[in-house]
Structure 1
Amino acid sequence: MSSPSAPAAPTAPTLADRIEDLLPQTQCTKCGYAGCRPYAEAIAAGSATYNQCPPGGQQGIQRLATLLGKPVIPLNPVNGHEGPRRLAVIDEALCIGCTLCIQACPVDAILGAAKQMHTIINSLCTGCDLCVAPCPVDCIAMEDITPGLSGWDAWTQEQADAARHRHDLRAARLQREKQENDARLAAKAAAKLKEISAETPLTPELRAEQQRKQAIITAAIERARLKKEQSKGQEPE
């Protein structure tokens, strides 16, 4: 009887992983990248400097400099300025329920539905302010909630870890919704093609074209199915 196989050894964290662990996970994009992970990868690749994160502030630069074995340098003002942690606040009397802020929030910290009043879940808000610009009625303001405290004095590692988890869950959900929508559209196209075929006498040319389109649709449905299966295995718990 064969002995059970030993569990696979854990993969050692990459430099990008270690850099990401030191970022505040506000996902604010002020660094010039789409989120903390892309910024970490850019630092690891040498295409970005380690002083582009305003939420991390000078303490964040110190952390990264220590990891990278580089000198501590000032925050790049092009990316913004260090300051107190902020909280998004919605003027509920002005909110029209457009959902644009919900779509912009990288950590699902806004609660609401179409044509219904939205509200911020204060404990989840990272202060990224990405919800402000899309609002068509300017009903969102950013308020300082840690006066006198900035960087890692205003934000804990536990909060950063929780924000990263919510960001990852949101990314997985959006990917799953896209795959489901792609599959739904492909199935709808297949049904429509079948309906047209039933109503139209098929010449050899039309039959060949129908078969070509059906093969494309079948392949699209199968790709969507495989992606859905893969995302189930990769989705954070």
Structure 2
Amino acid sequence: MGLQGEKINRCAPGGEAVMLKMAELLNVEPQPCDGEEQQAAPVRMLAIIDENNCIGCTKCIQACPVDAIIGATRAMHTVMSDLCTGCNLCVDPCPTHCIELRPVNETPDSWKWDLNTIPVRIIPVEQHA
């Protein structure tokens, strides 16, 4: 239990590593991450285009809500991985079925760092003449 008797195994994204660190910091017994406390972190998916089968129809480009697919008519298209949200909206419109979603192994380089969620407060600075 935490300082106020709260469970320390409720951080699903952090999993066991976070629970063990919290137990160490709070000087309490580790608690197993099981049941509703342990939920698998969502797997980030990325659209991949089989370039050998792409006919350049642009249907995937039109379907992509975040403009993560680039290419020209009758030319091969490609997915910009840093913009792809894995929403799956580009897969069904493809007439040659050359788009599939694949899981992305999260590393510090592939992690989507959503900087817009960090609260920022702007402090005005007085200008001295």
Determine if the alignment matches structure 1 residue 156 to structure 2 residue 113.
yes
1: CA distance, partners of 2:114 / 2:78: 25
After superposition, give the CA deviation of every residue in 1:32-66 in whole Å (9 maximum; x if it has no partner): xxxxxxxxxxxxxxxxxxxxxxxxxx87xxxxxxx
- What residue ranges of structure 2 are gaps of 5+ in the alignment? 1-11, 14-35, 119-129
Q: Give the 5 Å matches for 1:76-155.
A: 83-146=42-105, 155=112
1: CA distance, partners of 2:117 / 2:74: 32
Q: Give the 5 Å matches for 1:52-63.
A: none
CA contact 1:85–1:155 (8 Å) conserved in 2:
no
Cα pair distance change 1:144/1:90, threshold 3 Å: same
Cα pair distance change 1:109/1:159, threshold 3 Å: farther
Normalising to structure 2: TM-score of the pair?
A: 0.52
Q: Give the 5 Å matches for 1:26-65.
A: none
Normalising to structure 1: TM-score of the pair?
A: 0.29
CA contact 1:86–1:146 (8 Å) conserved in 2:
no
After superposition, give the CA deviation of every residue in 1:125-166 in whole Å (9 maximum; x if it has no partner): 11111100100110001110036xxxxxx64322779xxxxx
2: CA distance, partners of 1:97 / 1:146: 28
Q: Give the 5 Å matches for 1:158-177.
A: 158=115
* Higher strand proportion: 2
2: CA distance, partners of 1:159 / 1:88: 23
- What residue ranges of structure 1 are gaps of 5+ in the alignment? 1-57, 60-73, 75-81, 148-153, 162-237
Question: Residue 89 of structure 1 aligns to which amino acid in structure 2?
Answer: I
Question: Residue 156 of structure 1 aligns to which amino acid in structure 2?
Answer: W
Q: Which has the higher contact order (CA 8 A, sep 6+)?
A: 2
Cα pair distance change 1:85/1:108, threshold 3 Å: same
Mark the structure with the bigger radius of gyration.
Answer: 1
Equivalent pairs counted in the alignment come to: 79
RMSD: 2.8
* Higher helix proportion: 1
Question: Residue 103 of structure 1 aligns to which amino acid in structure 2?
Answer: Q
Query: Which ranges of 4 or more aligned residues in structure 1 deviate by more than 4 Å?
Result: none
2: CA distance, partners of 1:160 / 1:96: 38
After superposition, give the CA deviation of every residue in 1:170-214 in whole Å (9 maximum; x if it has no partner): xxxxxxxxxxxxxxxxxxxxxxxxxxxxxxxxxxxxxxxxxxxxx
Q: Give the 5 Å matches for 1:190-229.
A: none
The share of aligned pairs that are identical, in percent, is: 51
After superposition, give the CA deviation of every residue in 1:61-102 in whole Å (9 maximum; x if it has no partner): xxxxxxxxxxxxx9xxxxxxx730011000000001010000
